[in-house]
Structure formats: C-alpha cells, structure tokens
Chain A
Amino acid sequence: QKEVEQDPGPLSVPEGAIVSLNCTYSNSAFQYFMWYRQYSRKGPELLMYTYSSGNKEDGRFTAQVDKSSKYISLFIRDSQPSDSATYLCAMTDYKLSFGAGTTVTVRA
C-alpha cells in the first residue's frame, strides 16, 4: 500500500468551476501537509501548507485536513486557465512523501 494515494486524473473543468482535489494517507506520523503545483517542465512549487486539522484559505485556494480520516483536500474556486497544471499533495514527518499528482486542465 502506498503511503499517499492521489487520483492522477486527468481532470478537466470549464473556466470558473470549482476544482476539488484530494489525497488519503496511511502514515499517522505525518504532521505537515502541503499542496504543490507543477507546470510542465518545471519543478514543484509550494501552494499551500497546513499543520493541523481544519481549513486554511489563501485567495481562491482552500486546503482542508482531516487527520482522523487521514484525508486532505484542495479546492480551487473560480478556476482560471492559468490554473492548468499538475497538483501534488505532499506530507511530512521529516521528509516529503508525495502523491502521484493530479493533472488539471481548466478550459477557457
């Protein structure tokens, strides 16, 4: 069983839609949860970072963590074509463990 499970998609939505991404994990030692965005031929870029269970908002992005269910989510509101990228969840107790990444396309 993988430590971090993430549906690779692909996911295609129209501009303005809400994008919903999620990951599950098995390691209870994970304490910090991140979402990275990766554009083609680029390295992952940190988007959101959370520590405890609950919600964290940053502009159009909302990250949710439910430690009891070992489940994290990322929501993108009012999605734009520039949001088209691969989104990777990652978590750490010391070193990063990544999900497989979900490829998202926002259609204009």
Chain B
Amino acid sequence: EAGVTQFPSHSVIEKGQTVTLRCDPISGHDNLYWYRRVMGKEIKFLLHFVKESKQDESGMPNNRFLAERTGGTYSTLKVQPAELEDSGVYFCASSQGLRGSTDTQYFGPGTRLTVL
C-alpha cells in the first residue's frame, strides 16, 4: 500500500511568487494534516481536514496560506505571495479517523520550500 506522498520534494522560489504544495494521503484516510518545520524549530501543526472539511486551521500563520482538499482526497497548500520566513519543510500526514485524535498519523516525506 502506498504511503503518504507529497509533491514536489523541493521547491525554490523567489519572494513574492506563488507556490502550491500537494499531498496525497493514504487511500481511505479521512484525516489529513499539514505541519511545517522551519529551520531550527520544532514541527508545528498548521491545519486538519476531516474529509473535505477544515476541522482546525488554528496553526495557519496568516492569510497568505490557503489549504484545500478536493473531494476529500488529495490536498493542496498554496502560499501566495511567498515570504522569506515561509522557508522550511512542509509535512503532510494522514490518519484513518477511527479513534479521533489518538489515530496514528502517517507522515509524508515533506516538501522542502526555499524562498529567496
């Protein structure tokens, strides 16, 4: 069974440009999470989807970040316009949703975003 996949693996853009990150969760997983790790800091929660609905987006840094989950399948995270402080590794994770918050979250390999 395929794990969580993320695309691209690495993106280098200039300040002010737009970048869209994609996450494909494990098939059948209702829960999808986005996390971010900026240099030297811990991994931080960004938001949580249950199917196509945003359950919690309290970790989104500002309105330059827009997350969507089309039809409850894959998800995209768009940063527009990108700023230098957005550089970091963006992780996606998914879980089945059988036990709510105690479900095991399976992480993708991450997208390394560099904003110049």
Inter-chain residue pair count (beta carbon < 8 A): 52
| Pairwise interchain contact B101-A2, C-beta atoms closer than 8 A | no
With A32-B102, A46-B104 in contact, do A98 and B110 touch (Cβ < 8 Å)? no
| Pairwise interchain contact B104-A49, C-beta atoms closer than 8 A | yes
- Which one of B43, B101, B110 lies within 8 Å of A88 (CB-CB)? B43
Which residue of chain B is the closest to A41 with respect to CB atoms? B109
62-91 of chain B: CB within 8 A of chain A: 91
At the interface, yes or no: A17 with Cβ under 8 Å from chain B? no
The smallest C-beta distance from B101 to any residue of chain A, in angstroms, reads 5
Task: Classify the interface of chain B: helix, strand, loop or mixed.
Answer: mixed
At the interface, yes or no: A45 with Cβ under 8 Å from chain B? yes
74-108 of chain A: CB within 8 A of chain B: 88, 92-101
Which residue of chain B is the closest to A44 with respect to CB atoms? B107
Q: Size band of the B side of the interface?
A: 20 to 34
At the interface, yes or no: A10 with Cβ under 8 Å from chain B? no
With A43-B109, A44-B91, A44-B107 in contact, do A2 and B42 touch (Cβ < 8 Å)? yes
| Pairwise interchain contact A46-B101, C-beta atoms closer than 8 A | no
The smallest C-beta distance from B84 to any residue of chain A, in angstroms, reads 21
Contacts of A44 in B (CB 8 A): 43, 91, 107
With A32-B102, A43-B4 in contact, do A95 and B45 touch (Cβ < 8 Å)? yes
| Interface residues in chain A, defined as those with a beta carbon under 8 Å from any beta carbon in chain B | 2, 4, 6, 32, 36, 41-46, 49, 51, 88, 92-101
Q: List 11 A-B contacts (CB under 8 A).
A: A32-B101, A43-B110, A44-B43, A44-B107, A45-B107, A46-B104, A88-B42, A92-B102, A94-B101, A95-B33, A96-B105
| Interface residues in chain B, defined as those with a beta carbon under 8 Å from any beta carbon in chain A | 4, 33, 35, 41-45, 48, 56, 59, 91, 93, 101-102, 104-110
